[in-house]
Amino acid sequence: MNTSKSSHAKSQSPLGGPDNPEQHQLPTPATSPEKTPTGRLSYANSVTKNIFKSPTNPLKTAITSTGSLFRNINPGAVVFDLSHLPTTQDIIEDALLAIFEKFTPASVRGYRQVGAKGNAIEILFDPSVAAVHRKTATEQGITFKDYEPKAVSTESMKTRLTFVKLRNMPLFPSEEAIVRVLSQSMATFGKIRNVSIFKKPVGHVIPSPPSLTDHSMLSIGLEVASIKQGPGWWKLNTSILKEIKYKKTITDFLEFIFTSDGPFHYATRDRMTAEEYDSLKQMLRHLSLEYSIKRARENKKNEHHLQTQINQLSLPYNVQDDGMANTRIQSLLLQLDQTQKEKLEVQAVRARIK
């Protein structure tokens, strides 16, 4: 990572303080709420504007002695404050039941209990219906038993976004590029707690490459709120199916599992139960992941080696009047381009780009 400083290299967090949501009080309604974004793209644009222009002295408007420090930055989120009701699990469950009856489970991306005593419910709506449901929740509320609580909307993005950092970035990318990344990430992760943007060379090379330019690789990292969930969506990088080494690995494993030392020594290929077949698929998945990780390490090592050779051959005393060196550089550049193309193809698979 480049360590050179820039006037745009770092933007301080709009809100300070420890990152401990359990100690925060519930939010109060904004005095002058902004127009509600209507989808992921609008939200991504609002995040980008906040990144490029942080609010001035936000602590005066965002926090008071009795105010809130609410860290949710999704405009589709609302909070039902139940602190004026008896704090019991029955109340929470009845409120959740009323919420799902009002808005349907399909429109709710997630929920959690918030507040120092867990006496409030945060609801995160799906971006496609967030604007409509947020308006309904804050204006009409819900009804259960003899209670009719209304939701409190999350406050303005410009005073609530926390831990926005622009690090080691001598040249800003376009806002459109960041909007696209944030919008795509929201579709997968929802809430975004941290945005890190930095430039770095293509690889760790010796000797070091020339100073970074607008052709250097740009990385944008998003730290998202941790959510307890399963292993998540996985798709095999089908490019490894063409490799003889991978085919042999799978073939040898399928031969082994039915031997006396294998996990299915008691079964045969044509007599496997559905449970055994599911177990076999998990084993093949694990084997493919191990192979892909090992392959990625080898490819990364090869890429660094290519970059090092290119830098060494590009030194003035090597390229001057040396046709062979120039030919060798062109050959190495073609190999490096091929490795970059393969990496992009893998990223396309992970991003589910059709």
Band the pLDDT of 65: cuts 50, 70, 90: very low
- Give pLDDT, residue 116: 60
Band the pLDDT of 300: cuts 50, 70, 90: confident
69 located within any domain: yes
- Give pLDDT, residue 142: 92
pLDDT tens for each residue of 283-293: 888 888 888 88
191 located within any domain: no
215 located within any domain: no
83 located within any domain: yes
Listed residue (164, 199, 153) closest to 13, CA to CA: 164
- Give pLDDT, residue 43: 53
205 located within any domain: no
59 located within any domain: yes
pLDDT tens for each residue of 321-342: 566 777 888 888 888 888 888 7
Choose the final residue of a domain: 113, 136, 157.
Answer: 157
Q: Which residue has the higher pLDDT, 299 or 217?
A: 299
Task: Record the pTM.
Answer: 0.34
Listed residue (155, 8, 148) closest to 85, CA to CA: 148
- Are 130 and 254 part of one and the same domain? no
- Give pLDDT, residue 214: 46
pLDDT tens for each residue of 247-277: 999 999 888 888 888 888 887 778 888 888 8
Is pLDDT of 82 > 80?
A: yes
- Give pLDDT, residue 232: 54
Choose the final residue of a domain: 138, 157, 176.
Answer: 157
Burial 298-327 (b: 16+ CB within 10 A, else e): eeeeebeebbbbbbebbeeeeeeeeeebee
Per the structure, the complete domain to which residue 310 belongs is given by 238-350
Band the pLDDT of 12: cuts 50, 70, 90: very low
Do the Cβ atoms of 75 and 192 come closer than 8 Å? no
Is pLDDT of 59 > 60?
A: no
Question: Which range among 129-133, 165-169, 218-222, 235-239 shows the weakest confidence by mean pLDDT?
Answer: 165-169
In DSSP terms, 199 is beta-bridged to 218
Angle, CA of 190, 194 and 198, to the nearest 5°: 120
